[in-house]
Structure 1
Amino acid sequence: MSNHRNAVLFVILGALWGGAYPAIKVGLDAVPPVLYAAVRYDIASLIMLGYIVVAVDYWYPRSRADWINATIGGVLIIGAYNAFLFLGETIVPSAVAGILVGLMPIFTTLFSRLFLPSEEFDLAGLVGVALGFFGVLIISRPDPSNLLTTEVVGQLFVLVAAASMALGSVLTERYEATQPAITMETWSMLLGAIFLHIAVFAQPDVAIDSARWTDTALAMVLYLSVFSSAVAYFIYFYLLEQLGPFEMNFIAYAAAAFSALFGWVLLSEGITIATIVGYVVILGGFVLLKRDRIRSELGSSPTPQTSD
């Protein structure tokens, strides 16, 4: 029973996070990108904070390492990731954005090798990383004579977003924080929202009063903050405990698939053969990179489950 429940929750989580990309795209018609991201986490962080104050004893960072991790999370995992993602989606289709963010697990492995001495690559692992980036080239199809087209710049923004989240995730591993993961994530959201508001005021050419909080824009920001952030993270932390971090790497690819599906159904975004092939190549790069762990997981005997 628990295996079935975990599978259902995994699909729901993929759909919630995949649905974020078209929701971002729709809201950007009315609200400047960085302000839109900031308001998303204003709401989400308050929901999360209200929950942990009631439900978690260790609800605020207590040590220097706790605060360092929350700050890294706020600046890189929440702030930079969302700023560049929302900026990128002003240019690229939501389906492409979701698939490019699927490169994040490969970025994470690459940064782990650079910043965590225990991580090592062999030749096949390097090929897996190369495959991931080759998948990006298939999707972007840059013109060698004009590498800075608007479309390519938008894709670069999304790639920087994925790299920011991956780098933040790796850097937090360097500090032995004792706070629960949900506490760190909540305070990262709070600090990230502050970071994003600072970024808004650092853009003198963007007038805050240009935002048009239409019914559609409000519906999108509520979806992003309540469902794609707060509710999704509750599910994520539950599944992380049930399945482990390795299995949860695949959620990026499930979200990418849902982003393409929702973009096609809801926004009439075309899904090209190049986009599909690029997605498969990126996923293949990750599988090759993690082949030993996948082989180990597939070869291990399943633990008997008791019905709930």
Structure 2
Amino acid sequence: MTLNRDVVLFVALAVAWGTAFSAIEIGLETLPPLLFAALRFDVAAIAFALLVLGLRAEWRPKTRADWLGIGVGGVLLVGVHFGLLFVGQSYVSSAVAAIVMSLIPILTPPLALALLPRMRVRAPAVVGLVVGLAGIVVIARSGGSLDGHGLGIALLFLAALSFALGSVLIERLEGTLPVVSLQAWAMVLGAAILHALSVAHPAERATGLEITPATIGALAYLGLVSTAGGFLLYFVLLERVGAAEISLVNYAAPVVAALFGWAVLGESITAATILGFVLIVVGFALCKIDALWRTVGPRLGYGPCRRGTPSSGVVVGGNAYVADSSTDRRDGASSHQCAD
């Protein structure tokens, strides 16, 4: 019963995040990208503010780490990431955008290695990074690397890099704000940054606005379902199944995006795009080979039975990374001693 519930929640999260790319595509038909991204986070910020009030969570930043967390979240995780994402998707299909975003778990380990103390990245993760980047090259070449398609891929890659960097930087901070309050503040700051960029961008000022029922529906869906609803589903699943399993949603969401893009928007998927996605999935598997084995091994009768992250590990953007210490090795050894 519990497994079935977890599967339902996982599918719901994949749908909430995968269909977001189709909603973005719909909104971009009538709104300039930066303004559209800003309006999305206006809606999401209101939803999160109401959630903070409903939960009676602490909302006032008290420490320097709180303010830094809000700054990193608002600038890198919302403003830069979604600004580049929305502009990049104006050049490519929703499926391609979702596939490029699935690079985030592959880009995170090398950044964690550089910025987090005592972090280690094994040889398979290095190979995985190379294979994942090769997948992006294949996808970029599938549409011609010198036209708008290639520009869109480049912008989306930078969006993924911005999110991975922001996740690692936030992990270094030890603030006092609850996650929901930190997210609310980050969305308010990110929305303000996106509005400022929209006003300053000449192309956006020259674009006429046409608010249609489809535009309003896309905004409401992105703000309430994909952002607020997706956030709640993510953290419920993170608590229930652990970081290794929940990170797999990064590879279910592009499949959902491709299916919805084909069914709703009439988008087509090329063989090269599929090959690029396969390379990214293989790269992810190499980067997360230890965590995947800890998850799959027990179900096959091998390996550790305990889920979760060792006490000296960290979770960045839904991905678990383990510090190289004798404590971790003892934890890994003891994790084999568990009941069926």
Normalization by structure 1: what TM-score? Answer: 0.93
Match of 1:164 in 2: 162
Task: Verify the 8 A CA contact 2:78 2:190 in the aligned structure 1.
Answer: yes
- Give ranges in structure 1 of 5+ residues lacking alignment: none
Would you say the 8 A contact 1:65–1:177 is kept in 2?
A: yes
Q: CA deviation at 1:114?
A: 1.6
Q: Note if 1:300 corresponds to 2:304.
A: yes
Question: What displacement does 1:185 show?
Answer: 1.4
Aligned to 1:78: 78
Superposition pairs for residues 1-308 of structure 1, below 5 Å? 1-141=1-141, 147-207=145-205, 210-297=208-295, 298=297, 299-301=303-305
Name the SS of the counterpart of 1:231 in structure 2: helix
**Cα contact 1:35–1:208 (8 A) shared by 2:** no
After TM superposition, give the deviation of residue 301 of structure 1 in Å: 2.8
2: CA distance, partners of 1:29 / 1:40:
15
Could you list the per-position Cα deviations for residues 83-128 of structure 1 after superposition, in whole angstroms to 9, with x for gaps in the alignment?
1111011110111000010001111112111211322223222111
RMSD across aligned C-alpha pairs, in angstroms? 1.8
Structure 2: tracts of 5 or more residues without a match:
298-302, 308-337
String of CA shifts for 1:69-90, please: whole Å, max 9, x gaps.
1210111111111111110111
Q: Distance in 2 between matches of 1:178 and 1:213?
A: 40
Cα separation, partners in 2 of 1:208 and 1:228, compared to 1, 3 Å: farther
Aligned partners of 1:147 and 1:21: how far apart in 2?
A: 22
- C-alpha distance 208-184 of structure 1, shift in aligned 2 (>3 A): farther
Tell whether the 8 Å contact from 2:199 to 2:205 is kept in structure 1 after alignment: no
- Distance in 2, matches of 1:36 and 1:261, equals 23
Per-residue deviation, 1:256: 1.1
Letter of the 2:258 counterpart: A
Check 1:301–1:245 CA distance in 2 against 1; reply closer, same or farther (3 A cut). closer
Post-superposition, which runs of at least 4 consecutive aligned residues in structure 1 deviate over 6 A?
A: none
Aligned equivalents of 1:244, 1:177: Cα separation in 2:
22
Query: In percent, how many aligned pairs have the same letter?
Result: 38
CA positional deviation for 1:68: 0.7
What TM-score comes out, normalization by structure 2 length? 0.84
How far off its partner does 1:187 sit? 1.3
* Inter-CA distance 166–123: structure 2 relative to 1 (3 Å threshold): same
Secondary structure in 2 matching 1:280: helix
- One-letter identity of the residue aligned with 1:301: C
Which whole-Å deviations, capped at 9, do the CAs of 1:136-178 have from their partners, x for residues lacking one? 11211179xx853211001111111111111100110111112
C-alpha displacement of 1:281: 1.0
1:234-254 CA distance string (max 9 Å, x none): 111211222222322211111
